[in-house]
Amino acid sequence: MKKFVKFLAALAVVGLVVIGLIIFLPVSRTAPQTNVAGDYTTTNGHGEYAMRMGDCMACHTADGGKPFAGGRPIESPFGTIWSTNITPDPEHGIGNYSLDDFRASLYDGIEPDGTRLYPAMPYENYRKLSEEDIRAMYDYFMHDVEPVNEAPPKTDLGFPFNQRWGIRVWNWLALSDAGHEDLYDDTVLNRGAYLVDSLGHCAACHSPRSTIFAQAGKNAEDDRYLAGGVIAGWPAPSLHGPQSAPAKWSHDDLAAYLWTGRNSHSAVAGEMTQVVGDSLQYATDEDMNAIVTYLRHINGRGEDKTTLDASSSNEPTETEKLLASADPSMPLGARLYLDNCNACHFVNGKGAPEVFPSLDGNALVVADTAGGLLDVMLHGARMPSTEKRPARLAMPGFGDRLSDEEAAELATFVRQGWSNDANAVSAEDVAAARSKSSGTHH
């Protein structure tokens, strides 16, 4: 017994030593990945463009808040993480950051004082940024952004997630090497991969998570890469696989969706509304072509601009026949659809191109989790206003007129109508969605 107690004591001492080393070992910063001339200067507009492609404004600007002043709540499985102030304010922002400090925050998730940033800051992806983009963004934030002397709310997660020293261990396990490797003998594909993997950080939402909540799949050679994820109850659909939009949509339809948030098949909702409004709408023609070409390439699509979407058949489905019959004895879900949805989405579930999205085959509708669909049904949604499509078309919320049971029947009908084949929704699912404050569509 005494030997066992001594063993436990020794084990505890070793554990404390290891924890001490993790906490107190000097912080290691990743060096620049390319050599840049000492007199290097960024071109006019480069920094703002890189910021746009990096989608910095969406996360670091609160609803109704000042640009980049932080305070936006980011839901995580461990609690709410509040985005930081990244204006050049020296007290509450990044005004005292050196270029090396700025790079360390992007590559390593480390603040100048050694504080570890939570991986809600997608440094898993940003560590693939080029040195030129990092320097351009640093110049932009330091010289072109208005300082805001405001402190955002502090992130206060419960134990053990409030022990930020533990993030160091997570970084050791989760982070890949810094820098972006060109995998193709094609400048367009390499540029598209760079934009998707680094600035665009698409995998932060659209890749599943491993057992340690790291992004699964580092590049297109892994089937898990961009295979879909869930963010705060919202499905982030797959961008890689036979049922993904890049595998089914034409080049032009995919570009229209990313540029404007709408096309002949679907429309954005939730977090993607901000991604389009604050980021992707600003993509140049060359960069959007690169992104779309890359996403279609990893899904086996070539230069053709035809669609593979099989749901475009003109043959009426059983759902369409049922709704068109207007039979008073039809199931409750169908009757609720005619009362609430039919005027915009029609009996065929196809909607109107670039105005009312199709419900037949819609990724949000048929996702494994119905959280996004229920959020839109209950609270409504609004498309972003973009230069190419300025109209902010909106769908009203029906939460006030539908009970939990009715909303469940309607959601189930939509998820199982036409060519859709998704799981049913319960009244309990609706109640949970109703009580959850999303904040991404108001």
* Domains of the chain and any CATH numbers: 43-174 (no CATH), 187-297 (1.10.760), 317-435 (1.10.760.10)
- Phi, psi (deg, nearest 5) at residue 377: -60, -45
- pLDDT tens-digit profile of 373-405? 999 999 999 999 999 999 999 999 999 999 999
CA–CA dist 321, 231 (Å, integer): 36
Mean pLDDT, the chain, rounded, equals 90
- pLDDT tier, 184 (very low <50, low <70, confident <90, very high otherwise): very high
207-266: pLDDT as tens digits: 999 988 899 988 888 899 999 999 888 999 999 999 999 999 999 999 999 999 999 999
- Least confidently predicted of 3-12, 42-51, 235-244: 3-12
Determine the longest span between alpha carbons in the chain, in angstroms.
82
Rounded Cα gap, residues 254 and 261, in angstroms: 10
Kindly state the average pLDDT of the residues 192-217: 94
Give the C-alpha distances (Å, rounded to integers) separating 399 from 357, 363, 378, 442: 20, 22, 4, 14
Please choose, from the candidates 136, 134, 137, 221, the residue with its C-alpha nearest in 3D space to the C-alpha of residue 178. Answer: 134
Instruction: Output b/e per residue, 430-442; b: 16+ Cβ within 10 A.
Output: bbebbebebebbe
Q: What is the mean pLDDT of residues 414-429?
A: 97
The predicted pLDDT at position 436 comes to: 78
Q: What is the pLDDT of residues 14-33, one digit of tens each?
A: 444 445 544 546 678 998 99
Judging by DSSP bridges, how do beta strands 234-236 and 229-231 pair with one another?
antiparallel
Per-residue confidence (pLDDT) for residue 76, from 0 to 100: 86
Q: What is the spatial distance between Cα 146 and Cα 71, in angstroms, rounded to a whole number?
A: 16
User: Is the backbone peptide bond immediately before 147 cis, with ω within 30 degrees of 0?
Assistant: no
d(CA 9, CA 152): 43
Which residue bears the tokens 């070992």?
25
Strand-pairing partners, residue 381, are 395
* pLDDT, tens only, 69-124: 999 999 888 899 999 999 999 999 999 999 999 999 999 999 999 999 999 999 99
Say if CB 102 and CB 94 are below 8 A apart: yes
Q: What is the DSSP string of 355-387?
A: TB---TT-HHHHSSS-HHHHHHHHH-EEPPP-S
Look at the alpha carbons of 131, 133, 136, 137 in this order and tell me if their dihedral is positive or negative.
Answer: negative
Predicted pLDDT of residue 310? 46
Rg (CA), the chain: 24
pTM attached to this predicted model: 0.89
Q: Express as a percent the part of the chain with pLDDT over 90.
A: 78
The two tokens of residue 170 are 């997570």
For range 55-75, the mean pLDDT? 95
Number of alpha carbons in the 13 Å side-chain half-sphere of residue 26? 3
